[in-house]
């Protein structure tokens, strides 16, 4: 494939992969787990959607594209709740909040 859709897919794939790799490397540089949680946001809000757009552009519309879009939507919907739950567990283990609150 050598059309404009292929070039757009390559650009989206490269940009999405760059975001994911940069976020992973930046998270490795952080010492505290609280700071590392912030680097999940670019991956879920920018990196994954860019890679999904690249897959849709490359493969065209179909079942595969629908599954790619569904996976990115589920990731975007669940990432904030998982990040908040992870931060809460970290705070409980550090003794910053009571383990039973809120009950």
Q: What is the pLDDT of residues 24-71, one digit of tens each?
A: 999 999 988 888 888 888 899 899 999 999 999 988 889 989 999 999
**pLDDT attached to residue 102:** 64
Q: Is 101 domain-assigned?
A: no
C-alpha separations of 56 from 28, 59, 67, 78 in Å: 31, 5, 10, 22
Q: Which domain holds residue 18?
A: 4-94
Q: Considering only 12-16, 30-34, 93-97, which range has the smallest mean pLDDT?
A: 93-97
Residues 24 and 6: their CA atoms lie apart, in Å, by 27
DSSP H helix total and E strand total for the chain? 5, 0
Q: Is 11 domain-assigned?
A: yes
Total structural domains in the chain? 1
């Amino acid at each position: 494939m050598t059309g404009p859709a292929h070039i757009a897919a390559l650009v989206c794939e490269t940009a999405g992969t760059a975001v994911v790799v940069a976020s992973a490397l930046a998270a490795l540089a952080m010492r505290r787990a609280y700071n590392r949680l912030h680097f999940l946001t670019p991956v879920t809000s920018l990196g994954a959607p860019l890679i999904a757009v690249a897959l849709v552009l490359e493969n065209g519309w179909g079942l595969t594209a629908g599954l790619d879009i569904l996976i990115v939507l589920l990731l975007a919907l669940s990432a904030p709740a998982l990040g908040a739950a992870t931060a809460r567990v970290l705070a409980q283990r550090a003794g910053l909040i009571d383990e039973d609150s809120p009950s």
